[in-house]
Each structure stands twice: as structure tokens, then as C-alpha cells.
Amino acid sequence: MKEHIINVKKSSITPLFVGREACTPGHSFGPYIRDCYLVHFCLGGRGMLKNKHGTHNVSEGQLFVIRPGEITTYTADMKEPWEYIWVAFRSDEIFFKDECSVFDTPKELDDKLITILDEEILPYEGCLAIIYSLIYQITRRVEADGGDDRVRRIKRYIKYNYMLPITVSSIAERFGFNRTYLYSTFKAKYGIGIKEYITSVRMEKASEFLKSGYTVKQSAHMVGYDDEFNFSKAFKARYGVSPSKL
């Protein structure tokens, strides 16, 4: 089992710890009551979650949510025990109000968490970004699908998923828009092109990370850039200075 405690900073959402474990057959935890949100991402195998809403089967590519105050028990399968990553956080806000406890999870979130766990120094901002992305991925399921509402949802999606390899094309496909129509609709509503908005969100976050003491490479990675040179070029175009000079 591998677990990291996260240094607490002031935020409406406070990440507490993340960890990873490959469970033994039948390994069980509970019944137990948590005082925080605890989310498990199933990387492989399968298991079962039991709460007040019933018994839920969980398998690879899914996640399950434990809410504060819930009595829960979760158990690894005897033949194919699960391996999972967990994220715990506290918040004054209430999330995941519906009765559903198990959700499909985008693979990129699993990959991002694995990357974070491999860091020697656990990045608080990276964990916070993952939690925001997680909240978006779950809560978007219950939102309406109207055209104007979809544009608003796209703006929220970018805000909470800037750390992922998102592009205008991938967003258009995800939300069922023609790329050209998406560009004109987004710009008409918000006064900025969608590509420019993605870059703007990333650069603002990168500036925060750099001012917090993270390196250019770390900051680039945490806002979705694999190439440090391209990140530095975009940052300088935005702020007029190299990120290394900030």
C-alpha cells in the first residue's frame, strides 16, 4: 500500500490524502463512517461496495464515492481482487447529492493520479485539480443537454479539466458540436475563442503554480503541457516574460 498525506492549504476544497493498493482476495474495510469524501478509482479487478442504498458491484474503469457520514463496507472480489487509487478531501460544499455511488471514470484521471503518486513531492495543486475534475465528471451526468447549456458546460469542463490533454476537436466531439459551430457559439457567448480560453485558464493556473514555488517543468505538466518549450512559448506570449523569470 502506498499513501501520501497532502499539505493543507486554504481552499473551499481541502485534499487530505491519496493512496494506492492492490488488495488481497476478500480484503474488506468496514462497516465504517467517514468524516470526509473518499473516492476510489478501480484500476483493475473488481469488488463490492455496500451502503444505505444497497450493494454495488465495481470493476475496472469505474469509481465509487463514499460521502461524509455514510456507513459503508467495501470488499475485494475473491477471484479478481481489485487494485485502486483513493482520494480523500473535505469541503464545506455538498457534492454527489444523488443516490448513485458508482460511476464510470475517464482513463485520463486514473493516469493523472498515477503520475501524481509517482512524484517524490506530492503536488497539492495537482491533487486539487484532480478533485475538481472528478467533481465535474460526476455532476455533469445530471445536467441538461440544451444547446446554450452545453456551451456553459463546456466552459466549466475546461475550467475543471485544464490539466488534461483537451483540444477544441476533442471537446467538440465530446459535446456533440461541429468544431466551427462550437467556435462561433462559444465566442458569441463569452467574447473569446475556445482555444484562447483553454490557453488562458492554463496560463493563469501555471502562474499560480510558479508563484507557489513549482518548477517550470512541474507547472507545465500540471496544466496539461507535455512539452516544456511549447509551454514556455505560450506563457511568454500571455505575460510577456519567460516562466523561468517569474
pLDDT digits (tens, 9 = 90+) for 157-172: 888 888 888 899 888 8
Per-residue confidence band for 123, with pLDDT thresholds at 50, 70 and 90: low
Cell of 212: 507557489
Locate 17 and state its grid cell: 490524502
Do 167 and 59 reside in the same domain of the chain? no
**Residue 30 and residue 103 in one domain:** yes
What is residue 233's predicted lDDT score, i.e. its pLDDT? 93
Q: 140-198, pLDDT tens digit by residue?
A: 544 444 445 678 888 888 888 888 888 998 888 887 778 888 888 888 889 999 999 99
Q: Which of 3-7, 23-27, 211-215 has the largest mean confidence?
A: 23-27
Q: Closest Cα partner for 201 from 227, 225, 173, 183?
A: 225
CATH number of the structural domain spanning residue 160: 1.10.10.60
Decide if 117 contacts 4 (C-beta within 8 A). Answer: yes
| DSSP letter string, 43-106 | EESEEEEEETTEEEEEETTEEEEE-TT-EEEEEE-SSSB-EEEEEEEEESS----SS--EEE--
Is 160 found in the same domain as 90?
no
Q: In this predicted structure, what is the pLDDT of residue 115?
A: 62
pLDDT on residue 135: 67
Is the pLDDT assigned to residue 132 strictly greater than 80?
no
Clarify whether residues 130 and 154 are in a common domain: no
Give me the pLDDT at residue 74, please: 96
Average pLDDT of the residues of the chain: 79
The confidence score (pLDDT) of residue 125 equals 57
Q: Considering 99, 115, 142, which residue would you say is the last residue of a domain?
A: 142
Per-residue model confidence (pLDDT) at position 46: 93
Cα(234)–Cα(199) distance, integer angstroms: 8
In a shared domain, residues 53 and 32? yes
Does residue 113 sit in the same domain as residue 192?
A: no
What pLDDT digit, counting tens, does each position of 68-87 carry? 888 899 999 999 999 998 88
Residue 39, helix vs strand vs coil? strand
pLDDT at 112: 62
Cα separations in angstroms, 160 against 44, 53, 109, 138: 26, 29, 12, 12
Q: Would you say 155 and 175 are in contact if contact means Cβ atoms under 8 Å apart?
A: no
* 120 and 166 in a common domain: no
Does residue 197 share a domain with residue 93? no
Question: What pLDDT sits at residue 136?
Answer: 63
- Asked whether the predicted pLDDT for residue 116 surpasses 70, the reply is no
The whole-angstrom separation of Cα 157 and Cα 216 is: 25
> What residue numbers bound the domain in which 188 lies?
145-246
Which is it for the CA torsion 28, 31, 33, 37, positive or negative?
A: positive
Last residue of a domain, one of 103, 126, 142: 142
Residues 136 and 160 in one domain: no
Say whether both 225 and 110 belong to one domain: no
Mean pLDDT within 225-241: 91
Q: Which pLDDT belongs to residue 5?
A: 40
Alpha-carbon distance values, 109 to 77, 97, 236 (Å): 23, 21, 28
The number of distinct structural domains making up the chain is 2
Tally the residues of the chain.
246
pLDDT for 3 beyond 80: no
- For residue 204, what pLDDT is reported? 92
| Selection from 191, 196, 137 nearest residue 164 by Cα | 137
Percent of the chain past pLDDT 90, that is, above it, reads: 26
d(CA 137, CA 114): 18
- Mean pLDDT, residues 112-123: 55
d(CA 93, CA 91): 5
Residues 82 and 178 in one domain: no
Residue after which a domain boundary falls, among 142, 172, 196: 142
Kindly state whether residues 49 and 123 are assigned to the same domain.
yes
Q: Look up the CATH number of the domain holding residue 91.
A: 2.60.120.10
